[in-house]
Structures are given as structure tokens and as C-alpha cells.
Amino acid sequence: MAATVTSPALKRLDLRDPAALFETHGAEEIRGLERQVRAEIEHKKEELRQMVGERYRDLIEAADTIGQMRRCAEGLVDAVKATDQYCARLHQAGSAIPRPPRDPQPQPSQQKFYSMAAQIKLLLEIPEKIWSAMEASQYLHATQLYLLCCHLHSLLQLDSSGSRYSPLLSRFPILIRQVAAASHFRSTILHESKMLLKCQAVSDQAVAEALCSIMLLEESSPRQALTDFLLARKAAIQKLLNQPHHGAGIKAQVCSLVELLTTTLNQAYALFYTLPEGLLPDPSLPCGLLFSTLETITGQHPTKKGMDVLQAELKLCSWFKHLPASIVEFQPALRTLAHPISQEYLTDTLQKWIHMCKEDIKHGITNLLMFVKSMKGLAGIRDAVWELLTNESTSHSWEVVCQRLLEKPFLFWEDLMQQLFLDRLQTLTKEGFDSISTSSRQLLIAALQELETSKSTTNKHIHFEHNMSLFLWSESPSDLPPDAAWVNVANRAQFAGTGLSMKAQAVSPCVQNFCSALDSKLKVKLDDLLAYLPSDVSSLSKDISPIQAKNCAFDRYADAGTVQDMLRTHSVACVRHITDCICTELQSIKEAVHGQQDALSSVKLHAVLFMARLCQSLGELCPHLKQCILGKPGSSEKPARDSRALKKQGKGKTEKVLPVQAQWQEVKELLLQQSVMGYRVWSSAVVNVLAHGFAQSLLLDDAGSVLATATSWDELEIQEEAESGSSITSKIRLPIQPSWYVQSFLFSLCQEINRVGGHALPKVTLQEMLKSCMVQAVAAYEKLAEEKQMQKDGAFPMTQNRALQLLYDLRYLNTVLTVKGEEVKSGRSKQDSRIEKTVDYLEALIDPFDLDVFTPHLNSNLNHLVQRTSVLFGLVTGTENQFTPRSSTFNSQEPHNILPLASSQIRFGLLPLSMTSTRKAKSTSRSIESKAQVVPPALSRVDDLMHPGSLFRQLVSEEEDSSTPSLFKLGWLSSMTK
């Protein structure tokens, strides 16, 4: 042992080889090793002594015990052998001796003694049998045994007071403990019976036996039993509602609550209801089980059921025959008769109990639903309750039970749960849309901040917001769908917006991102809410027959209209919240840019345009917003119609619309108003800046400025008749172009409109913009007239030529900027009184004779000018300002470079040429060539090539002459941008 348990130093040494040890170590080291080895030996000896001393005592005791067991076993074996031998001898002796005659009956004193002994024996065995019955949940049998035990106590005088002497207690002291133990059975049986009443998965017979036990032990009436039963079930409801819940278990708790309520009413009918006289019992609907059980137990009918309690267990015992008849035939009894409960009292008690439980149920379910965070979860709980109540086993004869007990149907869903679910649904919807509104507001503020601090950014989407024309004229792979060449427009997906369609509507990428984020959140909320609604209302109403609807417990989609109204209300509130935020931002920006001359370069206007485009596109790019308000999974209406409504408001006939559609129209009108308001802030800033520059150039009164803004005039030969009757040819000079500042003003206006995507601007915005420009221009001319009338010293005089140029400019501006409405179509153009005053002032500065000569030619030049500039200022002038009919033929006596417009505008309203107009122009040119025979063909071809648009005409004419088709005749190109 010393060798195996050694120190680490000794382990490394081989002590068995002394020669090697002395070779490797010195004398002092050898002595040290010797001391260490001796110390280890002594330590091991001490451990051995302690171990032997501690275990020796246990060893001795074990040996003594084993010896005692051996001696006991030997004695037991000897005793069994002796008993066996003695029994064998008795058997041999008994078989040899004849039997004596039967003993006579015991004496009365002995019979009394045997009877008392048998009662004591039964009294000692009853507690064990009571506990066995309790363990088997046979509480009624345990109650019978307990009452029998109490009867034995009274017979044996064991429950007497201390003043009366009981000789049995002195002779049998064990009975004292037995009496004390029996006193606890009553409270135990009552507690277990009342606990059984709180369980819902218990048979009707078990509940009846538990109630009978309570009635026998407490000597109560059936009404008190009904009260105990209902109070126990109320406590069970409270316990069920106060259980810890974890989300997924809420459905199980609500279903358990419904099962508990249905079980309570069914058991109340089976236990306490008695059929009126003359009504035959229904085997499928047993009733009065409590009273029949009481009659059986108390032995009111001679069924001898009471004797079975002892016969089944003790009839084989030898002492059973000595028990007195009062014990053998013992039957429990009630002090008062158990009269059946009247139907009026039963109905009134149950209605009060339901009313009392209703508040607890509502409060408990409300607390449970607080842990349901989605409408899909609410729908799952509702559907589970519906399936539970609609189940055939649950709803079997349910109407009969409710009618007999309550005299009316008991509506679980309508009376207890429907409003609670709607309240929770309202809360979830409000929280969801409040979250959407808050996130949309934060997203809007973040986008505006990014626009305002984006001077040095490299994000091209932000640059697109600064200049929409960069986005409109840039190409990307997503401009056209992959199937654009072979899939018809009508067969494409409803909300499949391509890049080219977004450009056609001037929807910037930032607006697309905002609408996409908002629409995705609305889709999540809508998908969650649709789980609570029927998938298809029309198909649902058609598929369910009246018989099926009657068999259903309740209409789970009865509140679909309320839920849709709730969704619609919160959706509109969300839109209003977004528009209110936009309105606040627009108002602050409007105040900030008011009166600033550098407003066009301000980032504030970029934010204004972003919000205007956002309101303009929100209704179309958020299809789930429309679905939230209309409450339909889809709509046959094309989304393009909504965008066209921005330009066509006020047109068309009024049609009858549903209230839901009217609400959607209100939302679109609200968005349109905010969009127009945003564009109005931008247009007013643009008009103010451009009109200010226009007025400054107009009011410059020095000769150099007047010459700098002058343009070339046209020289015309006119023939006049002299007084002698001869014809006199003279030359006049008239303006054919407006002043440079007028052209610059209109071109800058057109540039600003094109920069923001003018083709998608609302028509009302363009009209207001043109009207404001005209008002500002007239104000500038009025100010010029006032200054000229004051005749300042050193001012440049107002000559006739300048007045003629100003008159030409003013009439050109009036023609271009005045919005032509119904007056143009009817031919009744009405000038503004301010313009008339200004025109009268300028005409007064021109010689009346010259004015009469100039006016026809001036009007002709003006008409030609408007037609020349109709393409250049297309968005400003508009097609409605073309007062000259497109089918009119031009004067063939004079050359012109006017581009004829397309007579039918399919997609591109400003396309200068079409096949029909080209043919007309070609026929016109042929008539000109037939009349002008002097011009050589080669020279005329060269001159034609010098005119604008001649190359395009040449291509079209060559195309008409050739038999092969070309791209100009293909019609599918026009549908690719739809």
C-alpha cells in the first residue's frame, strides 16, 4: 500500500533497486528519502487503525443481528411444524369421535354480548371502508357508511356526554381513538363532494350522488343543493378565468368556459328539473336525477338498497348474523321531505345566476383578449366557439333545455362575447392604424429632411425630385414589362405598374417608395382583418341553406358590416392624418417662400412638389387603401381611371353611387385638394419670380433696354387707292415676334412646368397658373401706363412703334395665357376689362389711320405666331387655345413653316405630325406647286428641304409610295406605354 500511495517524488524513483539509487543520489539525499519513506509508512498505519476502529463496531452489530434473525427463523419454523402436527392429531381425533348434538341457542345475555361484539367489530372496520370509498370517488357510499357509523355510536352510547358513563370505553380503550377518527369524516366528505361539483368533466350521476351526500350530511333541502351547485360552478368559472394564460392557451380557456356553461345548464336540467304532469319523459333527455337518487338512498320505495351496503361486503363474516336489525336494515333519512323544485323558482334562480356570472365572464374574457395581439387570433377563438356550439353532441336538444329552464334561448355569442370581441377588434384596428399613421408621418418627415439636406448627396432619386425631367427622359430596364410586345393591355395585371407608366404619370421614385411602404403596411393589416371576415359574402350567402343556418349556433359573420365600417373609418382617419401632416408642412413652406425671389432654387419647393405628387398618386399606388375603404377584395375598375380623374374633374354626368363609393370619392377628393394645394404653393412661387423678372424688363425705360428687347419686324407691301383712283403701292413694317422678355417669360414658364412633369399636372393647377401669369402681366402693363402718364423727366418717350410692339405683346400674351373654355367652342370670347383698358391706352398712342391699316395684318401675324409657338409652348398654350381649325387650309400665296397638329390625339397630344395631317399637307403642297409653275423643281425641292419638318414629310411621302410597311404605320407602338 505504501508503494501504491506515495508522493510524486517517490513515484519517479525505483526504490526496489538500491544500487541504482545509491549511484544516482548522494548520502544526504538518501537519508532524506529514507525519512520520507518512513513518514509515509507511519501515515498509512494510522489510517489503517482508524478504519478498523470505525468499522469494527458496525461489523459486530451486523453479526449480532444476523445471529438473532437466524434464531428467530428457526423458532418460527419449529412452531409451524408443531402447529401442523397438532392440527393433524386433532383431525385424527375428530374423525374417530362421533359428533355431539347441536348446541342450543345462546342465552339472551350471550346474544346481547355477541351483538355488542359484532357492532364493535363493524365499527372498527367502517373507517377503512370509508377511506376506500373516498379513494374511489364514491362519496355517497362513504356518506352512507359514515351515517351508519354515527348510528353505531348512538347504539353503543359512544357519543354520550361526560356525565354519563360508558362501560365500553373503559373496557375497550381503542374505541376512544375510533370515535375521534370518525368525527373528521364528515368535513372530508363534504369538502370532496363540493370539489367534485366544481369539475366540468363529471357525469350527471356523479354530481347527483355528490349533491345527495351534501344534503344527507348537512340535512339541507333541494333548493339549498341547487344553490350549492350553482355557487360551485361560479367558483369554477372564476378559477378558469384566473388561470395563467400564455397566448395560445386563451382559445382553450374560452372554449372550456363555453363547455362549462353548457354543462352547467344541461346538468341543472338533468338534476333539478321535473316534468309537469301529463308530459311523457324523453329517454334522450333524463331529468329529476337528484330526486330519484334521494328516493333510492333513503328507501322511500321497498327496493332494499340500504341492506346492500353491508351485504355485499360482510355477509360472509360469521359475526354478521349477530348484528341487530336496525343496523342490517339501516337507511339514511332526511329530516324534511325533498320536495321537487318548482319551475318558476328554478327559472328565476338560473337567470339570476347567469346575470351574476355575466359580469365575471365579461371581465375575465376582456382580460384574456388583452393577450390576443392579432385579428387572426380573434377569428380563431370565435371559430372555435362556433364549432364547439355547432357540434351535434353539444347542441343536441339544447333549445329544449334552454326553453324549459330559462323560457328563452341562451345566446352565448350575442349576449356574452360578441361585443367584447368587437371592442378588442376596435382596439387592435385603432392601434394598427395609429401605428401606420405615426410611421407614415415619420417617413414623410424623413423624406422631407432628406430633400432639404440633399445638396451633396449622390442619391439619384433625390436628384429626380429636384428635376423631374431627368427621371422622365432617363431609360431603365424596368420601363417596359417583359411581355409588353405580345400581351394585350386588358390582360395585364391590374396593379402591374411599369417604369414607363410611372413616368407617364410623373410619379418619382421617392413617391413610389413612400406609397409602396404605406401599401405594404396596409396589406399586412388588411390580411389580418380579412381573417375575421368571410372570404366571399355573396358565395357565403348562397352556399348556406336555411336548414344549415338553423343548425348553426350563431352567425359568426353577422358583424361583418360593423367590422368593415370600423376598417373604413380608421382607414379614412389614417389618410386624414397623413393629409393633415402634409397640410401643416405646406403651410409652413408657403410662409417661408412667400416673397422670396430665389424661391425657384430653394429646396423647399422640392419638398412641396414631393408632397403634391404624393397626394396625387396615393390613391392609385396604394391599392390596399382602396380595398380598405371599399371593402372588396378586388375591383374591375382600372386604376388608370383614377389618375385621369385628376385632370377631368368636373366633367361627365353625375351617377348614383353607393355610400361606400361616395366615401372613397371623398378620400380621393381630399387627396386631390391637398395635391392642388401643394401645386398651388409651387405655382405661386414660380409665377411671382417669373412675373417679377418680366415686370422689371418691361419697365426698363432707357433707349438701350428698349432696343435690346426689340425683335425683327416684317415688311409688307400694300396697295391703296389714291384720291385720283389710281393704285398706290406702299410698304409697312409690323412686328411678327413678341419682345424678348415676353418670349423669355413664356419659355421660362414652360421650362418650369416641364421640369416638374407638366403633363401630369392637374388641369386646375395649369389654369390657375396661366390665369395668375396673365394677371401679373396685365398689372405690369398697367404700371407702365401709369408711369408714362406721369411723364417723368428724362424718360424715353412712348413712340408709335413701341406702342405697336407692346400692343402685339399684350395681345399675344392674352391669346396664349387666357384659358379658353366654353367661350372658345361657342365663339364668344370675352376679354377682361383690365386688358381692354390697357389695349385702349396702347391703341390711343397709335395713329388711328395707321391702326386701321395695321390691324388685319397684325391679327394675321398674331395667328401665325400662335401656331408657330404652339409646339414650343405646348403645355402653356394647350390644344384648347388653337382657335384655328386643324382642317383649315393655309393660304397658298405665302410660304409658312407652321407644323400641322395631329387631328386625333391617342396618346401624345403634342405630336406635330400624323398620317392624316401629312396627307392633307401633301395635297396642299401639290396644289401650291401646280399654281406656282415658275419655280424650278430642283429649286423648289431645295427650298422645301430648308423648311422645318420637310425631312419628316419626305420620309412619310416615300413611305406612302412604297408598298412595304414601316414603323410609322404600326399601331402597336402606341400601346406599349399603357
Q: Given a cut of 60, is residue 18 above it in pLDDT?
A: yes
Q: Classify 476 as helix, strand or coil.
A: coil
Distance CA 412, CA 409 (A): 9
* Confidence (pLDDT) at 227: 92
What is the chain's Cα-based Rg? 56
Long-range residue pairs from 496-505, CB within 8 A, at least 24 positions apart, any chain: 497/621, 500/976, 500/977, 501/977, 501/978, 503/471, 503/472, 503/479, 504/759, 504/760, 504/977, 505/617, 505/620, 505/643, 505/760
Q: What is the C-alpha to C-alpha distance for residues 947 and 954, in angstroms, rounded to an integer?
A: 12
Determine contact, residues 630/664, Cβ cutoff 8 Å.
yes
CA 760 to CA 753: how far, in whole Å?
A: 10
Residue 483 burial class via C-beta count within 10 angstroms: exposed 0-12, middle 13-18, buried 19 and up: exposed
Candidate from 241-250, 379-388, 657-666, 695-704 with smallest mean pLDDT = 241-250
In the prediction, which pLDDT does 966 show? Answer: 41
Query: Looking at 148-152, 309-313, 716-720, which range is the least confident one?
Result: 309-313
pLDDT surpasses 90 at 731 = no
Task: With cut-offs at 50, 70 and 90, classify the pLDDT of residue 956.
Answer: very low
Give me the pLDDT at residue 704, please: 81
737, 568, 765, 582: which is closest to 658 by C-alpha? Answer: 568
Q: Is the pLDDT of residue 187 over 70?
A: yes
d(CA 309, CA 306) in angstroms, rounded, equals 6
Following DSSP, what letter does each residue of 273-305 receive, concatenated?
--PPTTPPPBTTB---HHHHHHHHHHTSSS--H
Q: What's the rounded Cα separation, in Å, for the pair 604 and 592?
A: 8
3-state SS class at 712? coil
pLDDT tens digits, 928-940: 444 444 333 333 3
542-556, 701-715, 730-744 — most confident range:
730-744
Query: Measured between alpha carbons, how far is 114 from 108 in angstroms, rounded to an integer?
Result: 10
Which phi and psi (to 5°) does residue 519 adopt?
-70, -35
Mean pLDDT of the chain, nearest integer? 76
SS3 sequence, 18-66? HHHHHHHCCHHHHHHHHHHHHHHHHHHHHHHHHHHHHHHHHHHHHHHHH
**DSSP strand E in 693-847: where?**
713-721, 727-735
Query: Which set of grid coordinates corresponds to residue 859?
Result: 391679327
Alpha-carbon distance 433 to 628, whole Å?
Answer: 11
Q: Is 665 helix (H, G, I), strand (E, B) or coil?
A: helix
Rounded-to-integer distance, Cα 801 and Cα 302, Å: 139
Answer whether 629's CB lies under 8 Å from 667's CB: yes
Q: How far apart are CA 916 and CA 920, in angstroms?
A: 6
Of 201-210, 799-808, 898-907, which range is least confident? 898-907
Q: Chain-centre distance of CA 206, in angstroms?
A: 47
Nearest one of 309, 298, 304 to 336, comparing CA atoms: 298
Instruction: Identify the band that residue 971 occupies on the pLDDT scale cut at 50, 70 and 90.
Output: very low
Pairwise CA distance, residues 826 & 805, whole Å = 30
Per-residue pLDDT reduced to its tens digit, 411-455 = 888 888 889 899 999 999 999 999 999 999 998 888 888 877 755
Least confident of 370-374, 758-762, 891-895: 891-895
Q: 231 pLDDT exceeds 90?
A: yes
Asked if residue 46 has pLDDT above 60, the reply is: yes
Distance (Å, whole) CA 109 – CA 106:
8
DSSP bridge pairs for 733: 715
Identify the bridge partners of residue 728 per DSSP, sorted by sequence position: 720
Cβ atoms within 10 Å, residue 898:
20
Question: Cell triple for residue 173?
Answer: 380503550
Q: Which of 815, 923, 893 is nearest to 859 (CA)?
A: 815
Q: Report the range of poorest mean pLDDT among 189-203, 589-603, 830-844.
A: 589-603
Q: Which three cell numbers stand for residue 773?
A: 401669369
Burial class of residue 622, CB neighbours in 10 A (0-12, 13-18, 19+): buried
Q: Are the C-beta atoms of residues 815 and 823 closer than 8 Å to each other?
A: no
Q: Are 7 and 40 in contact (CB under 8 A)?
A: yes
Q: What does the pLDDT average to over 301-317?
A: 53
Q: State the Cα–Cα distance between residues 739 and 806, nearest whole angstrom.
A: 8
CA atoms of 873 and 746, how far apart (whole Å): 7
- Strand partners for 729: 719
Position 821 confidence tier, pLDDT thresholds 50, 70, 90: low
Instruction: Give the separation between CA 533 and CA 563, rounded to whole angstroms.
Output: 8
Is the model's pLDDT at 205 over the cut of 70?
yes
Of residues 14 and 473, the one with the higher pLDDT is 473
Cα dihedral 917, 919, 925, 930 sign: negative
Nearest-angstrom CA–CA distance, 749 and 411: 71
Per-residue model confidence as pLDDT tens digits over 71-122: 999 999 999 999 989 998 888 887 766 555 554 555 666 777 787 777 778 8
- Dihedral of alpha carbons 855, 857, 859, 865, sign: negative
Report helix, strand or coil for 907: coil
- Please determine, for residue 921, whether its predicted confidence score (pLDDT) is greater than 60: no
Of 458, 509, 454, 499, nearest to 475 by C-alpha is 499
Cα 573 from Cα 173, distance rounded (Å): 87
Cell output for 912? 406635330
**The pLDDT value given to residue 195:** 92
Are 542 and 552 spatial neighbours (Cβ–Cβ below 8 Å)?
no
Give the confidence band of 828 by pLDDT, cuts at 50, 70, 90: very low
The answer to whether residues 625 and 575 touch, using CB atoms and an 8 Å cutoff, is yes
Q: What confidence tier does 309 reach under pLDDT thresholds 50, 70, 90?
A: low
| Pairing mode, strands 727-735 and 713-721 | antiparallel
**Set of cell numbers at residue 300:** 322511500
Considering only 10-24, 681-695, 717-731, which range has the smallest mean pLDDT? 10-24
pTM of the shown model? 0.66
Residue 634 CA to residue 637 CA, distance in Å, equals 9
- By the 10 Å C-beta count (0-12 exposed, 13-18 middle, 19+ buried), 295 is classed as middle
Residue 106 DSSP one-character state: P
Stronger pLDDT, 963 or 552, i.e. the higher one? 552
